[in-house]
Amino acid sequence: MADNGIPARRSAAFVLQRILEDGKLMSELTADGVFERLDPPDRARAQRLAQEVLRNMDRADALILRHVPKAPPLPIRNLLRLGAVELAGGAAAHGVVNDLVSLASRDKHHNRAKGLVNAVLRKLAEDAPKDWAGLPVPRMPRWLRQPLVHAWGRAAVAGCEAAHHAGAPLDLTAKTDPAAVAEMTGGTVLPTGSVRVHNAGQVTALAGYDSGDWWVQDAAAALPAKLVRGEKVLDLCAAPGGKTLQLAAAGCAVTAVDISPVRMERVGQNLDRTGLTARMKTADAFTYNGQWDSVLLDAPCSATGTMRRHPDLPFAKDGSDFATLIEMQGKMIDHALTLVKPGGQLVFCTCSLLPDEGEVQVEEALSRHANLSLDADAMDQPWVEDAWRSDAGGLRLRPDFWAERGGMDGFYIAALRKGA
C-alpha cells in the first residue's frame, strides 16, 4: 500500500464525482478501469471509502453543514464527505486532514477552498466520532422512497433503509455441500441453503474458491433457480451466471443466453472454475428461439433490490428509465413463453422492490395469456416463509426480511405454468 492514503482517497473522490455528477454506476466505472492503477490494497480501500460515503451521505452532509454557511462545490463537498465518514469511523485525524487538504490544493478550479477543507475537517475531527451514531439512518431518495412507501408501508421501507445502511454480508452458493462450505469459510448455512459469511475479506482468498466449491450469490438471488422444474432449461439473461451454475449443479441440461459478450465471458470463467457444464450463447433474448421444459427469465430491471450491495444506485439513477424497462419486461415475458414447451414452466424474477416490475408484470401476463397459470406446486417449498408470499401469487423478498441475519436483496419471483 502507498505510504499515505492519497491514492485511495483521490480515487474515491473521483468515483463519487462521476456518480453524483454524471450518473455513472460504480460497476461501469470499475469496468472502465478507474481503479486499475492502484495497488490491490488501495483499490479495495478506495472502493470501500466511496461506498461508505454513499451509504452515509445524509449523515456526512448533516455534520458538514453545521460548519459552512452553504454547500460547497461538489468536488470540495465530496472531499469533506470522505473526511466526515473516515473521522466518524475513527481514522487518524492527522492523515485524513493532511491528505484531503492536499487533494483540495491540487484542484485547479477549487484550490482556494483548501483553507475551508482544513477548517471544517478539524472541527469534524472533534464532532464526527461522538455525534455520528446519533444521526438518523439515511433515507432513500424521494423519487424512490415514495412509491415504495405506497407499496409496502413506512415501517417496511424504514427496515429496508436500515438494511441498506448496514450493507450486505457475503452469501455463497455451494456446488454440492453447504455445510462443508460453511465450515471451510467460517460461514453459517441459511434456511434456504445459502452460506452467509460475515467479515469475509478478500473473496478469492477464501477456502474453496480455487477449487470451485462455491460461488458468490445473494441468498435471494439463489431462490429463483430452486423453483425450476424440468431437465432441459433455458437461462435467459443469464449473466453473471449464478443461476446457470445452480441449474448445472442440479443436473439440468442448461443453455445460458445473454446479450453481453463481456458478461458471458464471466459466466464461462465461473463454469470453468466450478467444473460445471452449460451451453453458452451470446444473443439477444428477443431473437433467440427453441423449446425448453423450463425457462428462467431474470429480466433486466431497475435493480432497486440490490442497494445493500450497490449504494451508488439511488444516486446514479432517478427513475426516468424505469418505464422503458417495465415495457421491455412485459415483452420479454411474452417472448419467453414462446420458448416454453406446452405444459412447461416459466420462472420470472426481477431484483426490484417496485411492484410494477414484479407483481404487476405477473398479473398482466396472466391476463394476456389464457393458457398461463401460477405454478403453485413449484412455490410450495419448505424454505418459503409465510411473510414472503405475495397476494399476486409469487414470492416478494425485501431487504428488511431476515434483519437479524443481515437482510437479503429485494426480489420478486413467480413460477408460471403454460397450458398443454
195 φψ region: left (φ > 0), alpha (ψ -120 to 50), beta (else)? beta
**126/143 Cα distance (integer angstroms):** 34
Amino acid code (one letter) for 17:
Q
Active-site choice (237, 252, 349, 351):
351
DSSP code per residue over 59-120: HHHHHHTTS-SSPPPHHHHHHHHHHHHHHHTT--HHHHHHHHHHHHHH-TTTGGGHHHHHHH
**363/184 Cα distance (integer angstroms):** 43
Backbone angles phi, psi at 209, to 5 degrees: -70, -55
**9/363 Cα distance (integer angstroms):** 48
DSSP code per residue over 174-227: ESS-HHHHHHHHT-EE-TTS-EEESS---GGGSTTTTTTSEEE--TTTTSGGGG
Q: Name the residue among 200, 64, 190, 187 with its Cα closest to residue 121.
A: 64
Q: Which ranges constitute the DSSP H helices of 235-321?
A: 242-249, 261-274, 313-316
Cell numbers describing residue 174: 455451494
**35/370 Cα distance (integer angstroms):** 51
Backbone angles phi, psi at 292, to 5 degrees: -135, 155
Annotated catalytic, 301? Answer: no
How many CA atoms, within 13 angstroms, populate the side-chain half-sphere of residue 193?
A: 17
Buried b (16+ CB within 10 A) or exposed e, 1-23: eeeebbbbbbbbbbbbebbbeee
Long-range contacts of 144-148 (CB under 8 A, 24+ apart): 144/304, 144/314, 144/319, 147/354, 148/353, 148/354
To which H or E segment does residue 333 belong? helix 322-338
**Cell 459552512 sits at which residue?**
68
Q: Provide CB contacts within 8 A for 315, sequence distance 6+.
A: 19, 20, 54, 57, 141
Could you list the active site residues? Answer: 351
